Structures are given as C-alpha cells and as structure tokens.
Amino acid sequence: MKVVLTHGYFINEDAKEQEIMRPYIPLGILYISAWLQKHQYDNEIFDSTFQSFEKQKVFILAHKPNVIGLYTNLMTKLNVLRLMQFVKNEPTLTHTKIVLGGPEVRNHVKNFLTHGADYIVLGEGEETMLELVQFLDGKTNKTINEIEGVSFLNEQQEVVQNKERLKIKELSDLPFPNRTKVNLQLYFDAWKQKHGTSAISINTMRGCPYSCNWCSRAVYGQSYRRRSAKNVVDEIEWIQSNYEVDSVWFVDDVFTVSHKWLNEFNEELQSRNIKMPYECITRADRMNEAVILDLKSSGCFRVWIGAESGSQKVIDLMDRRVDVNQVREMIQLSQLHGIQAGTFIMVGYPGETEDDIFETVNHLKVSNPDIFTITVAYPIKGTPLYQEVEDRFIANLPWETSTDRDIDFKRTYSRKYYNYAVSMIVNEVNAYKAQQKGEVLKMSKAKLKAVIQRGRMYLAR
C-alpha cells in the first residue's frame, strides 16, 4: 500500500507571502504521516511549499500511490482541484484513490466529490485516515459506511456522509508530527533571510472555545483540548536535539486560554533549563500581569493580541467578546515587560462606518503595537458571517474557479473604498510612529500618502 500525502500551497505563486515570508510547515499532514507510520503504514510526503506543480506531478507519477491524501484549505483549494484533475486524467494513476481533508472540505463536500475526490475526511484526520487506508488495503472488517468521519458518493452518485467521529481526547497520545519527512532547512533559511531568525511551528491545543462570527471551526469545532505541558516541552527538547532553529511559532488560536497550563509550561521549561524564544497568539481577556510575566519567563518575545477593530461597536457585531480598552491595556503592558506586541485588524465588516474606521486608526495610535496586520473582511462558508451576508453577494462566482476570498458583498461602502482605507490606516500609523521617533521626513511622506488615500476614500463613497 503506497500512500502519498501532499498539499497545494506554492509560495512562488503567492506574491503577498513572498513579501511577508513567514511560511509554516504543513503540520496537519505531518501528524497524519506520524499516525500512519505508528500503525505500520509507511508513507511519503511531497511538501509543495518551495516546489512547483510540475515537480509535484513528477513526484506522484514516480510513486504511483494507491492513496493520495490532500490537505485542503481556502488558500490551496484551486491547486487541489488542479491536482485532482491531473490524477483522474492520468492513465497510470487509475488505481489511485484521492482523499481530501482540512478546513475547506466540510462545507463543500458534494462539490469536491463531483470534481474528483473519492473520499472526504471531516474533522480530525489521524484516526479516520488510518481506518480508510486499512479499508482500501483490505485490512479491516469495517465497510466504508462504518468508517466514521468519511463522506463519499454511492453507486447512485448520492453523497453519503457517515457518522461524525468523536474528537481525540488525549492529544498527548499522538506522536510528534513527522518533521523528518520534509526539508525544514528551507523554512529556516526563508525566515532567517527575511527576519534574521529562523522559526519552527508547534501546536499545543486543538479547537477554540470562542465564537467570533468570521472564524471557521470546520475541523476542530468549538472545542478546547490540550496536550500536557510536559508533552509540549518534550517536543521542544526533541526539536533542539535534532535541529538548529532560533525560535518557535505556536500556532494555537488562544495560547493563554488556560493560565494553569501556561504556569505548568513555564515550570516545566525552568525545571529542565530549556530555553526557546517563541511567539504566540492570544486574547486580551485571557491576559493579565501574572500571565504576561509567565509568558516572559517562559521565553515569549512577541505576543499577538487580537482585536480586529478599534471600534467597540464593530467588535460586538463580530461577537468577539472583548473590550477594546483591555486590548490596548494588554498591548501596552506586554511592551512594558519587554514583550513585543502585535495585533490583527479587519476592515469592511458589515455595519462598519467611516467613524468606526477612524476609531481603528485612533486605537492603533493609542495602543501603538510593534506590528499589526490588516485585511478586508471576507466571509468563509459555514461561519455566521457568511450566513449573514450570503443574500448580499455582489456576484455569483463559479465554485471551481474561485475561493471565499474572492467573495464581495454589499457593505456600507464599495470594496475599492476599503482597499483605500487599508492603505490610509497603514500610512496614518506609520506617520504616527515616525513622529514618535522624530523621523520628520518619513512622517511627512507617510502623512501625505494617508491624506491621498483619504481623498480616494471620499471619492469612492
């Protein structure tokens, strides 16, 4: 039984990511690879990130797998469809079964099946993928209808969606992701060249207990499960023993959701004298000074604190359940204790007005984070935001040639307006930061750009 796991992200096709250059290893398929290997199913991984579609095809033709598992998210959907078409049209791959998993598949099951997928794995993939491979290998007494978490087309071309699989309770029982299957040095070098330090990603938890309207919970649902602090530190220790890497990026949605766990994590690191700088994401309402001190003590050099808007009205519309003043306080308190603070900003949310946008500008000046990211809101299928705006879509886009990122809907202003607003916000904040540093020329240039974008916003209204 030959199994190949891959995905459809090619960094050389993503101009924005080439500018940002913070690529992350595909942890999802690395976990599945480790789980299959633990149960005596060897497998190969083609990590597409630094490769090309042509090289991916060559790899698949060389291995001629019985099963090809494709991780599918919003960013990789179109390339996954392209790869499925290649496999289905290649005479030497008629025996290959295509299995899709990841966050994009749950709300598009029928479309993916009718476009070439043989099986869809919903939710966590480890146990379901193993049982599916055992079924295809003839090594189980279960029928396809008895494998939980699987969807497929029956002989009448009707979608069959099997019972949902229960989530894994003890995440510490999972083997570490199979990092030896990919060339991590490519990631280290990319980070080092762009940012001066290399990084490796780790997840300590699955799910998120919060209910933000724009956030997809297609894989783990609204849940919270966590590996033990000891298990996480074991992984850090293994990484330090096998790789030369400068820092860790914790990919968890809310790293400080449990103060008890964070304290245990810090104590475990201290007891073993393990030092590893890291950055993480969290929420202001799960922070206080004691938490910040634990973050600092355990090696955190940057914490990302979500807010999405500087307007409390918009934050409430998002069901974000956080106080914008608390966000500002935690950004400043983190910086006071020597931790860089980043934040996320979103414009164009339903109900947002120009006044709200300028409240966001004020919020960024007052809180003064070291770094922030900004985007125009878009609806992801399966989220409350998508349901809210579905009847306001401006165009009916063909599913097979578009993604949810392409969706635009009738908002307070036009999409062009919000594109100008993004540029205005960035330049207003840059001007403010330059002013604080006494960089007069830089401040003047940024301020002029901000004024121009304000004018464009006015004309686009």
As a whole number, the mean pLDDT across the chain is 96
In a domain, 340, yes or no: yes
Q: Outline where DSSP puts E strands in 16-86.
A: 44-46, 67-71
Residues 231, 114: one domain? Answer: no
| Beta carbons within 10 angstroms of residue 439's beta carbon | 15
Over residues 134-156, the pLDDT tens digits come to 999 999 999 999 999 999 999 99
Taking the C-alpha atoms of residue 367 and residue 113, their distance in angstroms, rounded to an integer, is 47
Residue 139 φ/ψ, nearest 5 degrees = -110, 25
* CA 319 from centroid of its chain's CA atoms: 20
Taking the C-alpha atoms of residue 54 and residue 177, their distance in angstroms, rounded to an integer, is 26
Select from 116, 140, 161 the last residue of a domain. Answer: 161
Mean pLDDT computed over 200-209: 95
* Confidence at residue 38, expressed as pLDDT on a 0 to 100 scale: 97
* Confidence at residue 307, expressed as pLDDT on a 0 to 100 scale: 86
pLDDT at residue 433 is higher than 90: yes
Residues 148, 179: one domain? Answer: no
* Domain count for the chain: 2
pLDDT at residue 17 is higher than 90: no
Q: CATH code at 115?
A: 3.40.50.2300
pLDDT at residue 294 is higher than 90: yes
Q: What residues have CB less than 8 Å from 426, skipping those under 6 apart?
A: 374
In a domain, 282, yes or no: yes
* Confidence at residue 221, expressed as pLDDT on a 0 to 100 scale: 84
Percent of the chain at pLDDT above 70? 100
Mean pLDDT computed over 249-274: 97
Q: CATH code at 331?
A: 3.20.20.70
In a domain, 423, yes or no: no
Residues 141, 197: one domain? Answer: no
Instruction: Kindly state the tokens that stand for 341.
Output: 């603070």
Residues 183, 317: one domain? Answer: yes
| Beta carbons within 10 angstroms of residue 163's beta carbon | 11
Over residues 318-356, the pLDDT tens digits come to 999 999 999 999 999 999 999 999 999 999 999 999 999
Mean pLDDT computed over 195-201: 96
Q: Outline where DSSP puts E strands in 204-267.
A: 205-206, 225-226, 247-250
Tell me the CA end-to-end span of the chain in Å, nearest whole number: 59
Task: Specify the 3-state DSSP secondary structure of 99.
Answer: strand
Percent of the chain at pLDDT above 90? 95
Nearest to 81 by CA among 406, 405, 404, 399: 399
pLDDT tier, 118 (very low <50, low <70, confident <90, very high otherwise): very high
| Beta carbons within 10 angstroms of residue 346's beta carbon | 22
In a domain, 254, yes or no: yes
Select from 137, 161, 185 the last residue of a domain. Answer: 161
Question: Which range of residues forms the domain containing residue 7?
Answer: 3-161
Mean pLDDT computed over 287-296: 98
Nearest to 324 by CA among 275, 264, 366: 366
In a domain, 125, yes or no: yes
In a domain, 288, yes or no: yes
